[in-house]
Amino acid sequence: MSALLEVEGVHAGYGPVNVLEDISLEVGEGQTVALLGANGAGKTTTLRAISGMLKPRGRIRIAGHDVTGRATERIVKLGVAHVPEGRGTFAPLTVEENLRLGAYARRNGGPDLERAFTLFPRLGERRHQRAGTLSGGEQQMLAIARALMLQPRLMLLDEPSLGLAPNLTRELFKVLRQVKEDEGTAMLVVEQNANLVLEFADAAHVLETGRIVLSGTADEVSADESMRKAYLGY
């Protein structure tokens, strides 16, 4: 049985600029994998390559399908929900419309708005408000809630806690943990808050200038000397 997401020897970049060098990683069904690294290391670029926003070289397989170079909207159909850096919510559309769009590529059943409002009650209170008028933290919750509307098999989360107050960050990770346990959704999480994500991840990779320099279980990576100095600060 092969992993849900397999990235093999991927190179990718922007125009003539190459950013990723020979990236390989796997995310198993229901597994949570953290992607760590300094600013500019290539974490966002890795997620973009996986969801088809960039055309990578190498090989990317999702649920056994070779999706290298496939259009984003077709990759989404395989159950891949990418919450991009900077959220990507539709500002002029309402909270409810944003959520319904999250279910656009779902194959079975209509959008389950009530579930989203149960997970994020604040969004329920604001369902008819335009997304652009939400606070930054609320927009971040909307972005996550919208991704969950797909009932994804794999979530790509790019700094989900960016701009959230500490208590909201904890709440958010609680929701993610709940989704993971209830639905077995696999996740590839980019996060600056390494402590937090390592607590909840199964495995982790550390990127440095476009290369993976350290891989292992979450415990192994947290215990690594150089890693601790560089990213965990103790």
Ligand X SMILES: Nc1ncnc2c1ncn2[C@@H]1O[C@H](COP(=O)(O)OP(=O)(O)OP(=O)(O)O)[C@@H](O)[C@H]1O
Binding residues (CB under 5 A) for Mg ion: these are: 44, 85
Q: CA angle, corner 40, sides to 37 and 43, nearest 5?
A: 55
Instruction: Please choose which of ligand X, Mg ion, other proteins, none residue 45 contacts, taking the beta carbon within 5 to 8 angstroms, the exact cut-off set by kind.
Output: ligand X
Q: Which of residues 147-206 bind other proteins (CB under 8 A)?
A: 150
Instruction: Please choose which of Mg ion, ligand X, other proteins, none residue 17 contacts, taking the beta carbon within 5 to 8 angstroms, the exact cut-off set by kind.
Output: ligand X
Instruction: Please choose which of ligand X, Mg ion, other proteins, none residue 40 contacts, taking the beta carbon within 5 to 8 angstroms, the exact cut-off set by kind.
Output: ligand X
Binding residues (CB under 6 A) for ligand X: these are: 14, 17, 19, 37, 39-45, 85
Count of residues that bind other proteins according to CB under 8 A: 25
Beta carbons within 8 Å of 183's beta carbon, 6+ residues apart:
151
Classified as helix, coil or strand, 150 is: coil
Task: Please give the full DSSP string across 92-132, using - where no structure is assigned.
Answer: TSBHHHHHHHHTTT-SSS---HHHHHHH-HHHHHTTTSBGG
For the bound state, the minimum distance from the C-beta of residue 192 to ligand X, rounded and expressed in Å, comes to 7
Q: Which residue has the tokens 């990235």?
A: 7
Residue 42 or 84 having the CB closest to other proteins: 84
- Is residue 10 packed enough to be buried (19+ CB in 10 Å), middle (13-18) or exposed (0-12)? buried
Classified as helix, coil or strand, 175 is: helix
Q: What residues make contact with other proteins under the rule CB under 8 A?
A: 51, 53, 71-73, 76-77, 81-82, 84, 88-93, 97, 100-102, 104-105, 132, 146, 150
